[in-house]
Amino acid sequence: MSLLKNTHRFYGSSSSAVTAQSWIYAKVFKGEPTQQNFRLEREDLPALADGDFLARADYISVDPYMRPYMMAYPEGTPMIGGQVATVLDSKNAGFPVGSAIFGQFGWRTHTVCNPAKLKTDRPYVLPDFGSLPTSLGLGVLGMPGNTAYFGLSELCAPKEGETVVVSGAAGAVGSHVGQIGKIKGCRVVGIAGSDAKCAWLKELGFDEVINYKTANVYGELKKAAPKGIDCYFDNVGGPISEAVIKQMNVYGRIAVCGTISNYNTAIEKVTDPLRQMVFKQLRMEGFLVWRWNNRWMEGIEANLRWIRDGKLQWQETVTEGFEQVPQAFMDMLKGGNTGKAVVKV
C-alpha cells in the first residue's frame, strides 16, 4: 500500500437531494479486466457543510496506472481516478459555482468535497484554457501532460542532437514526450501498435516510427537510431524495452513511466539488463508524477504555452456515457485509444 501516492477519497452518506452514481471495484482483476470486475452503485449525497462544494463530473479519466494500483485495494472500493467537473453548489469560496475543476474523485458522477480535509490530492480550479476543451485537464494539460513534461525533462534531460526513443508512443504521455523531444531538437523515434497510430506520430513530427506488432523492433531501431539511443522514455516494459536498452549509448538515461505490457499479464522474463547498465553507465529511474506535485502548475503552463505556439498537438479518444467508463478503461488497456482516453459523462 505504501507505494500509493494517489488515493481516492470522497464524502457522502445519505439524505440529500443529489444522488451520485459510482463505479465500484467489485472483483479483483485477473488478466484483462471485464465488466464483471465492476459494479454500479447509487449513493445519496449529504447537504453541504461549510467548506464543502458539490461537483458534477464532465469528463472521467481512464489511465493505465489504474490497473496495477487497484490491485492494492480490497473488493468493494470505489474506482480511483481523476475527473474534470463543474461546481454545482458551493460553501467554499475557493471553488465558486460554475468553475471547472480537476479532482481525484474516481469514477463517479457527483461528489461532495471539502478540500481542507484532504492531506493530498487536493482538487484545483483549472487554469484558463481559453477556447480549448476542459477535458484537456485530464490529458495534455493535466496528469499525463505533466508526466511527459517532468519525466522527460527531469529524468532524461535530452540534449539537442540526441536520439530519444519513446514506447507507447501514441498514448497520451508518449505522443506528448515525442513532441517535447522535437521541441528540444532531438531525433525522435516512436514505438506504437498500429499503422494508423504510426501515421499520426509522423504528422506530429516524429522522425521515425515503428509498429511493434508488425516489425522486428530491434532491427528497425538499428535503422531508426543509427547513432544509438541517448534517452528512452518507457511506457511499456517487457521485450520492447529489452530491445531498446540493448541499443543505448554510453551515459544513456532511461525514464520508466509505466509497463503497460504487463499490467494484464504476468511479468515476463527478459535478458538481464544490468550488464548493459554497467558497461554503458546507464541511468534508469522509475517515477510517479506526483513527485512533482509542488511544480504542478509550471508543467500545465508550459504545455499550454506550447499548444498556443502551435508546437504541441494533442488528440483524445472520447467515449460517451458514464455507463461506458469500464469499457473505455478495458479498451485503453488494449491500446484502443490514440492520445488521451477520456469518458464524457
CB of 139 to its own copies, least distance (A): 20
Interaction between residue 287 and its own copies (CB under 8 A): yes
How many residues contact its own copies, by CB under 8 A?
A: 37
Q: Work out whether 1 is an interface residue with its own copies (CB under 8 A).
A: no
- Which position among 143, 164, 256, 328 is part of the footprint of its own copies (CB under 8 A)? 256
Residue 238 interacting with its own copies (CB under 8 A): yes
Apex 182 CA angle, 83 and 218, nearest 5: 95
57/248 with CB nearer its own copies: 248
Binding mask 22-61 for its own copies (x = CB under 8 A): ----------------------------------------
| Site membership for its own copies, residue 6 (CB under 8 A) | no
**280 binds its own copies per the rule CB under 8 A:** yes
CB distance 14 to 44 below 8 Å: yes
Using the minimum distance from each CB to its own copies, give the nearer residue, 52 or 63.
63
What span, in angstroms and rounded, lies between the C-alpha atoms of 224 and 202?
13
Residue 218 within binding range of its own copies, rule CB under 8 A: no
Q: Are strands 19-25 and 77-78 parallel, antiparallel or unpaired?
A: antiparallel
Q: Which of 211, 158, 212 is nearest to 187 (CA)?
A: 158
Is residue 259 a contact point for its own copies (CB under 8 A)? yes
Give backbone dihedrals phi and psi of 164, rounded to 5 degrees, phi first.
-115, 130
Instruction: Please identify, using beta-carbon distances, which residue of 174 and 237 lies nearer to its own copies.
Output: 237
Retrieve residue 165's grid coordinates. Answer: 526513443
H/E element holding 174?
helix 172-183
Beta bridge partners of 38: 25
Neighbours of 273 (CB within 10 A): 16
Q: How far is Cα 185 from Cα 169, in angstroms, rounded to an integer?
A: 18
The residue (of 64 and 339) whose beta carbon lies closer to its own copies is 64
Dihedral angle sign, alpha carbons of residues 274, 276, 280, 286:
negative
Q: CB of 108: closest distance to its own copies in angstroms?
A: 25
Q: Give the three-class secondary structure for 60.
A: strand
Closest to its own copies by CB, 132 vs 157, is: 157
Interface with its own copies, residue 160, by CB under 8 A = no
**Which segment (206-214, 270-278, 314-322, 323-331) binds its own copies by CB under 8 A?**
270-278
Task: Give the separation between CA 184 and CA 177, rounded to whole angstroms.
Answer: 11
> Which residue ranges make up the site for its own copies (CB under 8 A)?
2-3, 68, 234, 237-238, 241-242, 250, 256-259, 262, 267-288, 291
